[in-house]
Amino acid sequence: MEKSTDLLNYLQESKVQYELIEHDPAFTAHDVARTSRVPENEMAKTIIVRTDSGFWMAVLRADQNIDMSTLRKVLHVKELHLANEEDLNYLFPSCQVGAMPPFGNLYNVPVILDALLATDEHIAFNACTHSKVIRMSYGDFERLVRPRVDVFTKPPFVAKDLEFQ
């Protein structure tokens, strides 16, 4: 995978309909969703983790957070850490750091996708750059990537859960 144009070519060759959304540069999934006007529950963030058995691409909704302890159990590994910038440059040399799309199949990195994201009709994600988003049907994404689907996010924080005395 060379750059976003290669990803777009892959989607076209796979006969996938998609929308390419250009936006002002943004560096967090929340900001990407906001600047691209994509609902946060459709915006996927791609997080690379390093385990004792290799790298994994964890994909979840922009409004969710990984529960590292749960992910460790789900992957059946002892060691689990976020990949560092050097790892990202090595694995995704033609993507801007932190802007890799959730197509681990194109980078020889297995993909685990949070089950909540798998319930959405559409998925949107960075297209190798901090200023382009691709939005497509989740069904097409699943067909192309064939991610492992499991639960590994923290329950959302809700202010009403706090008890004040």
Within a domain: residue 142?
yes
pLDDT in tens, 125-135: 999 999 999 99
Q: List residues bridging with 150 in a β-sheet.
A: 114
Average pLDDT, the chain: 92
Rg (CA), the chain: 16
pLDDT score recorded for residue 94: 85
Within a domain: residue 165?
no
| CATH number of the domain encompassing residue 23 | 3.90.960.10
Q: Is the pLDDT of residue 12 over 80?
A: yes
pLDDT in tens, 35-54: 999 998 899 999 999 999 99
Within a domain: residue 163?
no
| Measured CA angle at 114 (ends 123, 59), to 5 deg | 60
CB 34 within 8 A of CB 62: no
pTM of the shown model: 0.90
Within a domain: residue 13?
yes
Note down the domain range covering 34.
Answer: 4-153
Within a domain: residue 104?
yes
Please name the amino acid found at residue 28.
T
Strand, coil or helix: 62: coil
Q: Is the pLDDT of residue 162 over 90?
A: no
Within a domain: residue 107?
yes
Within a domain: residue 161?
no
Domain count, the chain: 1
